[in-house]
C-alpha cells in the first residue's frame, strides 16, 4: 500500500513539474490547436495499476480548456460507482481563468451523487458528477480522481480525442501490473508500440502530443477506429469470487457459462405448460414460436443490476415465480423453456444499440451490454430477443442485428454474426392516390407498407404511444407546407420479417402553387431525400450501416382543362451504392410519378466519396421535380 501511494505521489509531482499551473494560460496553446476547436485537452495522465487478478487502482488527472459554449459538455465531470466493485476514493478539481489563474477549488458539497438506475427496478449503480458552471470563456477545469476497482473484468480504454472539434496538447496512458502478469492491448491510429519498463513491476506507457481535431464525417467508421485509441484486456481475472480468463473468446465464454450454469430449473407447473404447448406439435420452429409467445405474455422486462447479478442471471425458477427479469434472466428462462421441450439453444452476448454495433472482434474482452438467445436449427439459426413483449420470433431488429455476438457453450465462447437484413427485407412500398383542384388544394389517400428495419421505429411508436401521440409523430414525419390528417390507421403483420401497413388520409390546402392560368405540382409528396453532402476531401472510409428499398407510385387527378407545359426529365442511375430511378408523366387528367431507390450497405473507400456526393445531389434535385400545368383557353 505504501509503495502504491508513494508511486502515485511521485507521478503527481512529476506531472506538476512537467506541466506547472501557469501553463494553463490559454496564450500558451499552439494556435493550430485552437483553430476551429471548442475545447483543448491541456494535459492528461491515465493510470491503471493492477494489484492482482481481482483488484486495481484507477487514477487520472486531466485539464481541459473550454474555448466557447460549444465545448461546455467537456467541462462536466462524472464517474459511476457501485457497492461491490467500484469505490471512488478521492476527487479534486480546480477552476482556472484564461490566464491560468486559479479561481476556486472543488468542495465536497459541490459534488452531486445520484442514482444511475434510471428505469431499473433494482440497481446499485450510482453516479457522482460536478460542473463549475463557469461561463467566462475561455477557462480551464482540472480534475484528479482515484478509484479502487475490485475486478479486472472491465479495464479502461484510452481515447485522448473525445469528440470532434476537440484537440489534445498532451495525454499519457499507463498500465502498471506485477511482472508475472500478462496484459493484452491493441492500438488504433497510434504510431509505434508502448514504452515498456520492466522490474518488479511492468509499466506500459503510451503518449500523444499535439493531436489535431478529428472530423466526424457522414457515415464514418466508429470513433475508436478513426482516432488514437488503445484497448486493454485482462488475462486472468476475478470478480465476486468467480475466476476467469479472457485471453481468447473461448476462455471468456467458459467464464460466462460458469455464471449461468445450473440455473435452468423450472417449477413443475411451468414444465407441464411447456409440454401442453409443444408435445403435439411436430414443427420445431412452431414449437419455438409457441414458447416464445408464452414467455412474452407471461413475463416483463425489468433491469436488475445488483453486484454480480449484473452478469449472472437469476435462475429460471425465480423468473417463473416473479414473472419479470432482465435480459440475462429472461434469456436464461427462455433457454430453460426450450430445454424442457427438447430444443437446444445458446445464451449469447451482444453489444446492443442501433448505432453501437461495433466491437473489437479481434481482441477478446468484455465489450457486451446485452444478452439474446440463438437457437441452432438444421438449416439456419433462429434468434430471439427475450426482453421484448411484442417482437415476432426470429426477428432481432436494428437493436441487435448485423453484428458480432458471443455464443456461450459449455466448452467456451464462439464469435458469430447475428442476421443482417438486406434491401429485399427492408422495404418501404408506398402508393398515393390524390386529387388537386384549381386552388392548389390536395386530397390524398396514402397507403404504405414498411418491412424489416424500415418498420422498427414505427413499430416501437405504435406499440408504446397513444393515438394522440401517434398523430403528433406523423405530423413531424410529413413534409408538406400546410396540411391536416383527417384519418390514419396502422396494422402490424408479425413474421420473421415483420411488416406494418399504414393508411393516411390528408388534406393540404396549399399543396400546389397557382399562378394565373398555371398550376405547379411537385408529385413526390413524401419520399424526397433531405440529404445533401458537401463535396470535400474525405478522410475516412464510408460505412453505410444498412440497406433498404423504397418504391413509390403516385397518381394525382388534376383539374379538367389543364395540360402539361413543362415536365421534369427522367433520372436513372446505378452505382456501387445502389440504384435510383424516377419518372414523371401526364396521362389525360392524371399526373403520374414512379420512384425507386435501393441503397446498399457496406464499407467503401474514402476515394468513392465524390460518387456518393454526386448520387445524393442528383437525387435531391430529381425528387423535387415540378410539373407545370396550364389551362387551355376557351
When pLDDT is cut at 50, 70 and 90, the band that residue 285 belongs to is very high
283 and 137 in a single domain? The answer is no
In this structure, what C-alpha cell is assigned to residue 491? 396494422
- Please indicate, yes or no, whether residues 93 and 227 belong to a single structural domain of this protein: yes
* pLDDT over threshold 80, residue 3: no
Domain-located, residue 483? no
Centre a 10 Å sphere on the Cβ of residue 48 and count the other Cβ atoms it contains. Answer: 23
- Residue that finishes a domain, picked among 207, 237, 267: 237
Element (H, E) at 54: none
Last residue of a domain, one of 215, 237, 259: 237
> Can the peptide bond before residue 278 be classed as cis, meaning omega within 30 degrees of 0?
no
Q: Are residues 409 and 541 in the same domain?
A: no
Q: Is pLDDT at 540 greater than 90 in this prediction?
A: yes
Grid cell in block for residue 508: 393540404
Nearest to residue 523, comparing CAs of 568, 559, 489, 490? 568
Check which CATH number belongs to the domain holding 587 and give it: 2.60.120.1130
Residue 166 lies in a domain: yes
Residues 397 and 436 in one domain: no
Min mean pLDDT across 54-58, 357-361, 609-613 is at: 357-361
Q: How many CA atoms lie within 13 A of 462 on its CB side?
A: 17
Domain housing 229: 2-237
Q: Which residue matches cell numbers 478529428?
A: 214
Q: Is residue 231 included in any domain, yes or no?
A: yes
Q: Are residues 176 and 213 in the same domain?
A: yes
- Average pLDDT over every residue of 173-197: 95
Residue with cell 484564461: 98
Contact between 252 and 244 under an 8 Å Cβ cutoff? The reply is yes
Span 421-448, mean pLDDT?
A: 97
Do 300 and 325 reside in the same domain of the chain? yes
Question: What CATH number corresponds to the domain at position 176?
Answer: 2.60.40.3140
Distance CA 406, CA 469 (A): 38
Residues 261 and 202 both lie in one domain: no
Q: Tell whether 475 is covered by a domain.
A: no
Mean pLDDT of 219-230: 93
Within 8 A by CB and 6+ apart from 26, the residues are 34, 65, 67, 98, 99, 100, 138, 140
Which stretches within 376-501 are classed as H helix?
A: 456-464, 467-477
User: What is the pLDDT of the chain when averaged over all its residues?
Assistant: 93
Helices (H) and strands (E) counted in the chain, each on its own, are 10, 38
Domain count, the chain: 3
Residue 467 in any domain: the answer is: no
Cβ pair 547, 598 in contact under 8 A: yes
Q: Is the pLDDT of residue 250 over 90?
A: yes
> Which cell numbers in the block locate residue 382?
433462429
Residue 454, phi-psi category: left (phi > 0), alpha (psi -120 to 50), beta (remainder): alpha
Residues 353-368: tens digit of each pLDDT: 988 889 999 999 999 9
Task: Please choose, from the candidates 68, 74, 65, 73, the residue with its C-alpha nearest in 3D space to the C-alpha of residue 38.
Answer: 68
- The model's pTM: 0.90
pLDDT at 16: 39
Residues 120 and 303 sit within 8 Å (Cβ to Cβ): yes
pLDDT for 506 equals: 96
pLDDT tens digits, 85-107: 999 999 999 999 999 999 999 99
Whole-number pLDDT of residue 8: 42
What is the C-alpha to C-alpha distance for residues 44 and 77, in angstroms, rounded to an integer? 14
Q: How far apart are CA 71 and CA 37, in angstroms?
A: 8
Let me know: does 60 contact 46? Beta carbons within 8 Å.
yes
Which cell goes with 93? Answer: 478539481
The answer to the question of residue 493 being in a domain is no
Give the lowest-confidence range in 115-129, 200-214, 292-306, 567-581: 115-129
Quickly tell me which residue has 420445431 as its cell.
Answer: 284
Please say if the pLDDT value at position 19 is more than 60: no
Cα gap 351→406, rounded to integer Å? 10
Is pLDDT above 70 for 7? no
- Shared domain check, 290 and 207: no
| Residue 4: pLDDT over 70 | no
What CA–CA distance (Å, rounded) separates 438 from 630? 11
Pairing of strands 304-305, 122-123: parallel
- Contact by Cβ (8 Å): 446, 430: yes
- CATH classification of the domain holding 410: 3.10.620.30
Residue 498 within any structural domain of the chain: no
618: Cβ–Cβ under 8 A, 6 or more apart, which residues? Answer: 571, 573, 580
The answer, yes or no, to whether residue 558 has pLDDT greater than 70, is yes
Q: Which three cell numbers stand for residue 523?
A: 408529385
C-alpha dihedral (456, 305, 416, 425), degrees to nearest 10: -10
Mean pLDDT of 432-454: 97
Exposure of 182 in the CB half-sphere (CA atoms within 13 A)? 6
Match 488527472 to its residue by C-alpha cell: 61
Do 434 and 541 fall into the same domain?
yes
Q: Write out the E strands in 499-570.
A: 499-508, 513-515, 518-521, 542-544, 548-557, 562-566
Rounded to whole angstroms, how far apart are CA atoms 289 and 277? 10
The b-or-e profile of 551-588 (16+ CB within 10 A means b, else e) is bbebbbebeeebeeeeebeebeeeeebbbbebbbebee
What pLDDT shows up at residue 15?
42
Contact partners, residue 211, CB within 8 Å, separation at least 6: 160, 161, 167, 168, 171, 228
Q: How far apart are CA 525 and CA 480, in angstroms?
A: 7
Query: Cα separation of 390 and 393, whole Å?
Result: 9
Please tell me the distance from the alpha carbon of residue 278 to that of residue 296, in angstroms, as a whole number.
16
- If 0-12 CB within 10 Å is exposed, 13-18 middle and 19+ buried, where does residue 278 land? buried
Closest Cα to residue 564, out of 482, 625, 479?
625
The pLDDT value given to residue 14: 42
Do 252 and 229 lie in a common domain?
no
Say if residue 13 is in the same domain as residue 79. yes
> Residue with C-alpha cell 459449455?
410
- Band of the pLDDT at 117, cuts 50, 70, 90? low
Specify burial of residue 19 (Cβ count, 10 A radius: 0-12, 13-18, 19+).
middle
Last residue of a domain, one of 237, 270, 295: 237
Q: Give residue 125's pLDDT band: very low, low, confident or very high (50, 70, 90).
A: confident
SS3 77: strand
Secondary structure, 3-state, 166-208? EEEEEEEEEEEEECCCCCEEEEECCCCCCEEECCCEEEEEEEE
82 pLDDT band, cuts 50/70/90, is confident
The answer to whether residue 356 sits within a structural domain is yes
Q: What is the pLDDT at residue 538?
A: 95
Residues 121 and 15 in one domain: yes
Amino acid at each position: 500500500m505504501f509503495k502504491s501511494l508513494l508511486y502515485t505521489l511521485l507521478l503527481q509531482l512529476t506531472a506538476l513539474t512537467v506541466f506547472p499551473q501557469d501553463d494553463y494560460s490559454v496564450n500558451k496553446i499552439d494556435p493550430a490547436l485552437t483553430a476551429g476547436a471548442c475545447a483543448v485537452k491541456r494535459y492528461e495522465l491515465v493510470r491503471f495499476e493492477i494489484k492482482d487478478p481481482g483488484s486495481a487502482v484507477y487514477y487520472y488527472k486531466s485539464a481541459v480548456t473550454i474555448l466557447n459554449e460549444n465545448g461546455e459538455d467537456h467541462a462536466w465531470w462524472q464517474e459511476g460507482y457501485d457497492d461491490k466493485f467500484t469505490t471512488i476514493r478521492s476527487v479534486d478539481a480546480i477552476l482556472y481563468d484564461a490566464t491560468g489563474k486559479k479561481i476556486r477549488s472543488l468542495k465536497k458539497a459541490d459534488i452531486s451523487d445520484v442514482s444511475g438506475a434510471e428505469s431499473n427496478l433494482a440497481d446499485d449503480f450510482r453516479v457522482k458528477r460536478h460542473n463549475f458552471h463557469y461561463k467566462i470563456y475561455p477557462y480551464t477545469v482540472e480534475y484528479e480522481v482515484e478509484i479502487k476497482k475490485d475486478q479486472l473484468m472491465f479495464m479502461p480504454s484510452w481515447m485522448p480525442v473525445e469528440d470532434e472539434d476537440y484537440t489534445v496538447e498532451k495525454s499519457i496512458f499507463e498500465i502498471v501490473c506485477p511482472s508475472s502478469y500478462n496484459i493484452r492491448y491493441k492500438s488504433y491510429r497510434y504510431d509505434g508500440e508502448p514504452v515498456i519498463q520492466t522490474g518488479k513491476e511492468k509499466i506500459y506507457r503510451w503518449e500523444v502530443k499535439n493531436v489535431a481535431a478529428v472530423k466526424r464525417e457522414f457515415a464514418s467508421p466508429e470513433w475508436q477506429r478513426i482516432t488514437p485509441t488503445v484497448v486493454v484486456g485482462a488475462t486472468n481475472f476475478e470478480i465476486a469470487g468467480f475466476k476467469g480468463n479472457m485471453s481468447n473468446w473461448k476462455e471468456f465464454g467458459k467464464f460466462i457459462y460458469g455464471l449461468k450454469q445450473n440455473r435452468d430449473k423450472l417449477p413443475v407447473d411451468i414444465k407441464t405448460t411447456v409440454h401442453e404447448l409443444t408435445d403435439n406439435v411436430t414443427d420445431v420452429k412452431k414449437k419455438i414460436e409457441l414458447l416464445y409467445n408464452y414467455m412474452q405474455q407471461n413475463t416483463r422486462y425489468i433491469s436488475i443490476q445488483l453486484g454480480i447479478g449484473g452478469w449472472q442471471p437469476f435462475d429460471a425458477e425465480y423468473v417463473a415465480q416473479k414473472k419479470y427479469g432482465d435480459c440475462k434472466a429472461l434469456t436464461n428462462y427462455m433457454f430453460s423453456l426450450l430445454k424442457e421441450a427438447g430444443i437446444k439453444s445458446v445464451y449469447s452476448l451482444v453489444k446492443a444499440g442501433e448505432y453501437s454495433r461495433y466491437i473489437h472482434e479481434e481482441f477478446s474482452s468484455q465489450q457486451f451490454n446485452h444478452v439474446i438467445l440463438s437457437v441452432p436449427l438444421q438449416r439456419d439459426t433462429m434468434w430471439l430477443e427475450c426482453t421484448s413483449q411484442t417482437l415476432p420470433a426470429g426477428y432481432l431488429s436494428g437493436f441487435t442485428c448485423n453484428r458480432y455476438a458471443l455464443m456461450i457453450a459449455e466448452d467456451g465462447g464462439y464469435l458469430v454474426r447475428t442476421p443482417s437484413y438486406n434491401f429485399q427485407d427492408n422495404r418501404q412500398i408506398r402508393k398515393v392516390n390524390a386529387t388537386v383542384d384549381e386552388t392548389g388544394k390536395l386530397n390524398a389517400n396514402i397507403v404504405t407498407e414498411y418491412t424489416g428495419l424500415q418498420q422498427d421505429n414505427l413499430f416501437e411508436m405504435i406499440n408504446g404511444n397513444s393515438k394522440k401521440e401517434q398523430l403528433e409523430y406523423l405530423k413531424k414525419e410529413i413534409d408538406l407546407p400546410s396540411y391536416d390528417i383527417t384519418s390514419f390507421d396502422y396494422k402490424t403483420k408479425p413474421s420473421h420479417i415483420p411488416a406494418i401497413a399504414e393508411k393516411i388520409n390528408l388534406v393540404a390546402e396549399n399543396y400546389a402553387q397557382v399562378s394565373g392560368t398555371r398550376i405547379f405540382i411537385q408529385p413526390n409528396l413524401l419520399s424526397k431525400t433531405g440529404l445533401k453532402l458537401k463535396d470535400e476531401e474525405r478522410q475516412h472510409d464510408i460505412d453505410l450501416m444498412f440497406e433498404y428499398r423504397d418504391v413509390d407510385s403516385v397518381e394525382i387527378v388534376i383539374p379538367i382543362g389543364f395540360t402539361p407545359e413543362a415536365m421534369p426529365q427522367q433520372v436513372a442511375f446505378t452505382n456501387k451504392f445502389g440504384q435510383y430511378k424516377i419518372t414523371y408523366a401526364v396521362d389525360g387528367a392524371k399526373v403520374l410519378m414512379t420512384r425507386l431507390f435501393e441503397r446498399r450497405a457496406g464499407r467503401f473507400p474514402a476515394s468513392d466519396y465524390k460518387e456518393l456526393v454526386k448520387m445524393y445531389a442528383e437525387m435531391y434535385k430529381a425528387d423535387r421535380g415540378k410539373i407545370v400545368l396550364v389551362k387551355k383557353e376557351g
